[in-house]
Amino acid sequence: MMQSKYTTLYVTAGLFVLLFLAGSLQFSGFGSTRVFANLFSDNAFLAITAIGMTFVIISGGIDLSVGAVIALTGVASALLIGEYGMHPLQVFPLVLVGGGLFGAGMGALIHYYRLQPFIVTLAGMFLARGLATTLSEESIPIDHPFYDTVADFGLLLPGNAWVGTSTLVLLLVLVAAVLLAHFSRLGGYIYALGGSAQSAQLMGVPVAQTTITIYAISGFLSALGGIVYTFYTFSGYSLTGVGLELDAIAAVVIGGTLLTGGSGYVIGTLVGVLIMGVIQTYISFDGTLNSWWTKIVIGLLLFAFIAMQRLLTGSGKGGTAHA
């Protein structure tokens, strides 16, 4: 049995390559650079959110509020831009700070009141979704020249592949997340906290500060995902992102992060999102399969990866794999 801390990451990457090759052999045009680039642009908002979720799960927590924060971000941005005439560059810092503070508040409740992350973030999900619905029950269009400029900005690669703003933002977030996870003191604290909170405290890890920061990062990246999603839809809607928190968790687990904490992969999470995107693309190319097959396949993959993690770790705990 392979015990390498990179085993699940290798399996995830291999599965992505296998699925992409299978689609390429079966459908004409599936293996083009355009389809590959679209996997990033179409799923950028989910990948950004899932990266934040990765830090939370590595620390041994969970964040069920991310989908609702995306919806609240979209509605608030649409209202401030459309109804109050604010420039998007004035609105974005406000919603990003708001998302970070929202996450930090949940982190504080979790640490200081010794509450379960599941319960706290579930309450946060209802709160954010309720606020979004209170602000507007209807979809609010965003009509601003800045959005048109952003939509037109990007790089055209060979094969008519378009790398737009959303993909560029995702790549920047990915680089920052890798640096944070593997080349910063905070990253070490996050892994240590997930390995054992008591041991981490004995080692001098500032548990309170780390916990609050982790959830602040998740809230911030959820808000950023909400902004990216508005560039995709040019609107804000209170029902955006329903169930997206489950997609984010699925991507994190498929990417090789243990649900019990202590071991995880930022790169793996991105590959997990791409795997989900490949499955959706395959179903679109096929044309005869129901879209719900995406959920079925992802569910089967989750079972498989959880079973594999259990076999590889023996006890279900993976230590502090910084990969």
pLDDT of residue 7: 85
| Whether residue 275 has pLDDT greater than 50 | yes
Tell me the pLDDT tens digit for each residue of 129-171: 999 999 999 999 999 999 999 989 999 998 889 999 999 999 9
For β-strands 140-141 and 154-157, DSSP reports them as unpaired
Tell me the pLDDT tens digit for each residue of 83-109: 999 999 999 999 999 999 999 999 999
Nearest CA among 263, 271, 226 for reference residue 244: 226
Is residue 199 a contact partner of residue 63, using CB atoms and an 8 Å limit? no
Instruction: Give φ, ψ of 141 to 5 degrees.
Output: -70, 150
pLDDT of residue 25: 96
Identify residue 66 by its one-letter amino acid code: V
| Whether residue 183 has pLDDT greater than 60 | yes
pLDDT of residue 313: 74
- 236: which strand partners? 140
Helix ranges (DSSP H) in the chain: 7-26, 33-42, 44-58, 66-82, 88-112, 117-135, 145-152, 165-183, 185-195, 197-202, 207-233, 244-254, 266-286, 293-313
Q: Dihedral through CA 276, CA 282, CA 287, CA 292, nearest 10? A: -20
User: How far separated are the first and last CA of the chain, in Å rounded?
Assistant: 19
Q: How many CB atoms lie within 10 A of CB 235?
A: 19
Tell me the pLDDT tens digit for each residue of 55-66: 999 999 999 999
Is residue 56 a contact partner of residue 62, using CB atoms and an 8 Å limit? yes
Round the average pLDDT of the chain to a whole number and report it.
Answer: 93
pLDDT of residue 277: 96
Sequence-separated (6 or more) residues with CB below 8 Å from residue 183: none
* pTM (2 d.p.): 0.94
**Residue listed under structure tokens 């602000």:** 135
pLDDT band at 4 (very low <50, low <70, confident <90, very high): low
Mean pLDDT of 248-257: 95
**Buried/exposed code over 106-144 (b: 16+ C-beta within 10 A; e: otherwise):** bbbbbbeeeeebeebbbebbebbbebbbebbeeebebeb
For β-strands 321-322 and 263-264, DSSP reports them as parallel
Region of residue 199 (left: phi > 0; alpha: psi -120 to 50; beta: else):
alpha
| Whether residue 226 has pLDDT greater than 50 | yes
7-322 topology per CATH: ABC transporter involved in vitamin B12 uptake, BtuC (1.10.3470)
| Whether residue 323 has pLDDT greater than 50 | no
Q: Which two tokens stand for residue 13?
A: 């990457």
Sequence-separated (6 or more) residues with CB below 8 Å from residue 164: 41, 151, 153, 154
